[in-house]
Structure 1
């Protein structure tokens, strides 16, 4: 079998009897080359099976046209939508995306940042691992003037861009919604460190209780080791087994809310008559579960798009090292569904009686 040889610009130049520099500029639609010559070069290149050598180009420029994305996992619907928003925006601008998962491990995150740096990515978008508190490993990118954007799970203070929702406000409006439905003993499932988005949601929950003069009881606040169904199931069972059990649960993730609903069903506790539940993210599972889970919207795709746009904006040629960055806040809102909307249930029951 004849070995395939890669066609180069030298081969095209030889065939057309033109300088290699002319071929190179023609393939890039350079204004110094006539349209007729450009068309001839591109037609010949296509006929000969020429493929641009992006690797060689990246080695010369010391950068690839690649944006590195580092997230805890790709299995969560929220993060999948986030990545999709990044990819669509980056691809339109001619950039590829490489995705890496930290699996919520600090050590893996440190290792992967080094890998992205070694692979000469043009920019980095990161959502921090659950374990991460120290973010010094990201200074690699700052020192090399590689644009860096933190998204969703972000450090409290870092000299770079951050794209987030207001987690405090979101936790507040979720709890306020349960209060508006008549809940008096509202439990909360939380996770992560004191620096995490879940802690901010917890602060919002506490603020709403204070504002409406409801008691803050430690037995109603349970911290789980991870945002998983199994962790939430244990927490929900503990809460619903209390002698004076809660009449509302704010779960800062839809999988946690779904687990609370199913746990209540197993214990023959009616939702929302005896227990109202609200989740977070508006994942597909929230409207598949019966009763449908009330939730807080989380503009995942828009967050990804915004993060990618910031990277692309900061990849302009000869751009000087950027200065202090702004934090971009995107809006959330309550989606009231069957799991908490007691007023809707009353209306339905009233209609049935008529």
Structure 2
């Protein structure tokens, strides 16, 4: 019994025949005798031989691999997207290679170089928070590798995008808060160089304007992680006129805000209502459970994978890019007062 990866050369050496004969025997070539085929296949089975997919792909100039770069795997949204991607990719005969940038521009660049070295057929990307220079993505395009951005997209590169309707989702969240009587609504936002963050803040502002509620800029702060919410929520609560509601840019930020509101002695939702963005496990297990916006990550993954498979199959790089938009759904739970 051999250990390690078995190669065609190993089988050839054991049987005293050439590697080319083994290769042809495994492919059931008519020039190879039945006896030799039987011997080769029996030993291949015994030694658990598996074809070298990388070597095959180099000969075929196609790897059947789709690369995926996401900011963080731990987020429910991104894990849902990956499930959607793998569903389509598997059916289309592709394997998925997943990289995590961990919200780092440097690491994202390294991810791209690894994908280039792996000769992937296409790449799906949700950019890191730090990314402002997009030259590494241009390098993918320059090497004939199609890209589809999802959720966090690149404005500087002509490419396909699959996005959430962030504006409409944020508008619905804030309008819900207004309809239940909230007027001092804080917004915990993401960095504004991100299109996602811009659109969610625009939705917040438009809802306030529609209902003729003055916008207090002191209630709009950059705060888009659990740890930041722990640090910055007490400052909001200490304002001379504290908020009576919080709309957070994502689920974990909303959870951090909820924790600090409760630690301050205030009640949720009686004193402060809270809405997040993304309906993950966290939203369901907080106390009270979070009112939030379902982003339909699985559907985003499906659409992104369908697009990249289509681009790979066409073999064309000079195409008119498309943007597909997935609507959100407001899910009302215990963190907002009842109407």
Q: Same fold (TM over 0.5)?
A: yes
- Are residues 1:228 and 2:219 paired? no
Cα shift at 1:23: 4.5
Off by >3 Å, runs of 4+ in structure 1: 1-11, 18-27, 39-50
Distance 2:4 2:257 in 1: 60
- Are residues 1:8 and 2:4 paired? no
| CA deviation vs aligned residue, 1:167-198 (integer Å, no higher than 9, x gap) | 11111111111011111111111121333312
Cα shift at 1:315: 2.1
Aligned counterpart, 1:105: 104
Pair 125,193 (structure 1): closer, same or farther in 2 beyond 3 Å: same
Cα shift at 1:84: 2.2
Q: Identify which of 304, 307, 311 aligns with 2:304.
A: 307
Cα shift at 1:145: 2.1
Aligned counterpart, 2:244: 247
Distance 1:130 1:235 in 2: 19
When the two structures are superposed, what TM-score results if normalisation uses the length of structure 1? 0.84
Cα shift at 1:22: 6.2
How many residue pairs match? The answer is: 331
Aligned Cα root-mean-square deviation (Å): 3.0
Cα shift at 1:162: 0.6
Distance 2:291 2:39 in 1: 59
Whether the aligned pair in 1 keeps the contact of 2:2 and 2:47 (CA below 8 Å) is no
Secondary structure, counterpart of 2:279 in structure 1: coil
Cα shift at 1:46: 4.0
Aligned counterpart, 2:69: 70
Aligned counterpart, 2:256: 259
Distance 2:119 2:154 in 1: 23
Aligned counterpart, 2:273: 276
- Are residues 1:143 and 2:142 paired? yes
Gaps of 5+ in 1: 33-38, 344-354
Distance 2:275 2:183 in 1: 15
Pair 90,5 (structure 1): closer, same or farther in 2 beyond 3 Å: closer
Aligned counterpart, 2:325: 329
When the two structures are superposed, what TM-score results if normalisation uses the length of structure 2? 0.87
Distance 2:5 2:261 in 1: 66
Matches within 5 A, 1:75-224: 75-224=74-223
Gaps of 5+ in 2: 31-36
Distance 1:244 1:137 in 2: 46
Distance 2:120 2:5 in 1: 28
